[in-house]
Amino acid sequence: MQKKQLTQVLEYDKYNVKTYYLLGELGEIEKDYKNAIDNFEKVAILDKQFKDIQLKLGKLYLAHSKGNQKKAVKHLKLALLNDPENSEIYYLLGTIQYEHFGKHKKAIRYFHQTLSFEPKHPFAYYDLANVYLDLNEFELAEKYYLKSIINNPELRTLDNDNVFNAYKISKFYKKPTYKGTILITGATSGIGKATANLFAKNGYRLILTGRRKEKLDIMRLELESNYECKVLKLPFDITSTEQIDYAIDNLPEDWKKIDILLNNAGKAKGLDSIQEGNWDHWQEMIDTNVKGLLYITRKISPLMVERNHGHIINISSSAGKEVYPNGAVYCATKHAVEALTKGIRLDLYKHNIRVSQVSPGHVEETEFALTRFDGDTEKAKIYNDFQPLKSSDVAEAILYIVSQPAHVNVQDVVLFSTQQANSTNINRNGRKD
């Protein structure tokens, strides 16, 4: 009834700012956030200084409008013009720069501005600690972590204590000699994680990338604790050119000599026939499997060309060599990886850069099946009745490729488990010992 009455008011006065504001608040109460944003935007157009309208829009775009972080920033900056000492606004801007754009320096500035107006802010010190941890500024990370737990004791956990004090452990290691530096995309699970462990064990420095910062933190701690290795983590979304540009452009100087790029990040989504396919699934696979590989390769290959040295390894799939029913788009993305591998090789061989690929069949110890079926654990039980490859098997193949003499380029390795003949012919008569 209330919504109907407010709408009737607008029929007589379409410039009634208060009515649009009330409709926006009603949208918030009803959790109809799109409607709330639409009405609050009308308020902002009619009166950009009305109450807290800019802050409201900034928070709504950030929390309830996927992919609209830039709009959130726009409104939050307008909110600052009206309220330049509002610590909440600075904190939100810092959070966006850090978590969504990966812009560490801007985030640091906003978090410090937050603290200048609210010295006992419950989270700004903790966020600063995480930013400095990302930048490998370990002593600053520990300093701000200690300040954060003084302000907010609930932030103190065993995991946090371990992460923010991990740098002290490395001081007791003898400085090892490294075979080279490998950058691994999609490093937090499956083949990427197995490869990180194997290469750490075999004397390589690691640059680990992925979207999940917390998992990267844990991986770095585990790897540096278990092996005498150096690990740099780069949290970014492989589908974002902006985040990739920032991460690579801001690499510490001694990490820019990347010897191996492992293009491992990839996704399979859905198992539908073409007439029933999900647009979002298609977009996600194309963005990750094809565009993501292109983005990071475009960024790293010039560093290799400059040194006249490097090795690029793309993780493809048996789906790049054949197609199967209900997998048209996934197979197409992996066929694209095959074509890109060959094309990149033709572009870079004259610069002494090796280009290889690994094409496995079914691999367990990954998130492949769970991701493909959107977290449906029952549908994801596709390996129960046969023994597929393990992630470590693929990692061993990758190590074999890079371990060949400099004049040898292993162009392609195709792997299946013994019980899998090709993409569609699998002996599902139980696991064989």
How many C-beta atoms lie closer than 10 Å to residue 289's C-beta? Answer: 26
Give the integer Cα–Cα distance in Å for 268 and 162.
34
Place of tokens 């990180």: 196
Query: DSSP secondary-structure letter at 318?
Result: G
| Distance from the Cα of residue 13 to its chain's centroid | 47
Helix (H) or strand (E) holding 377: none
**For residues 278 and 269, is the Cβ–Cβ distance under 8 A?**
yes
Please calculate the CA angle 425-429-431 and round it to the nearest 5 degrees: 100
Give the integer Cα–Cα distance in Å for 393 and 412.
15
Q: How deeply is 91 buried, as exposed, middle or buried, from its count of CB atoms within 10 A (0-12, 13-18, 19+)?
A: buried
Instruction: Count Cβ neighbours within 10 Å for each residue of 264-287 and write b for 16 or more, e otherwise.
Output: bbbbbbbbeeeeebeeebbebbbb
208, β-bridge pairs: 184, 233
Q: Which of 293, 218, 286, 284 is nearest to 261 (CA)?
A: 293
Place of tokens 């790897």: 223
Give the integer Cα–Cα distance in Å for 225 and 167.
10
53 Cβ contact partners less than 8 Å away, ≥ 6 residues apart: 21, 40, 43, 44, 47
Q: Is the dihedral of CA 205, 263, 348, 416 positive or negative?
A: positive
Active-site annotation holder among 125, 204, 330, 383 = 330
Told to judge if 330 belongs to the known catalytic residues of this protein, a careful annotator would answer yes
Hey, which residues are catalytic here? 330
